[in-house]
Structure 1
């Protein structure tokens, strides 16, 4: 089970990379890396969705991807940070963790 969630987390890492790549790609090499990260993201999501519930996977993926992209933007690209932004990110992450926590074992194994 942990292996499948690790795949989702790896997909999140690639999502953060391609989203950042959209803004910072400027030549064939950097665009190729962005497109590769995009393809790997969706391949990994498809792989994880075979074993985990689609709704939970997608929610965890988008929530962590959004939070990760904002955090990387703040720390590496000097994007603005405010207390409201931090509180909203915390709220987002609490919601994602809560959804993952309440997913029953049967749902996790795809038995509905």
Structure 2
């Protein structure tokens, strides 16, 4: 079960890498970032699929998308100068708390 959670975390981190690559792809107009985005997307799906062998689909997908969303938002704030308004930070923290809650309730 621990390995499945590790695969899920890896899938979410690869999903964040996909978002960063697609940011640099500039609407599919740049070849290498576009290809990297597609490769990361495929990698995230493969890892997610492997994690789903042992984890409940609802919990796993919620955790996967939550980590991806919170992580991409954090990267946007830290590296791309996106808004770090108090409300936005509270909402991102809410996602993180919900992810932790799902993990704790499903072991």
In the alignment, which residue of structure 2 is the partner of 1:36?
39
Deviating runs (4+, > 3 A) in structure 1?
none
1:68 positional shift = 0.2
TM-score using structure 2 length:
0.90
Aligned equivalents of 2:72, 2:3: Cα separation in 1: 23
- Structure 2 regions of 5+ residues with no counterpart? none
Q: Highest CA radius of gyration, 1 or 2?
A: 1
- Structure 1 regions of 5+ residues with no counterpart? 105-112
**C-alpha root-mean-square deviation of aligned residues, in Å?**
1.2
Are positions 1:100 and 2:103 aligned together? yes
Q: Deviations over 1:65-109 (max 9, x none)?
A: 1000000000011111111111111111111111111115xxxxx
Which of the residues 62, 65, 86 maps onto 2:65?
Answer: 62
Aligned equivalents of 2:67, 2:19: Cα separation in 1: 13
Aligned residues: 104
TM-score using structure 1 length:
0.87
Which of the residues 44, 67, 80 maps onto 1:77?
Answer: 80
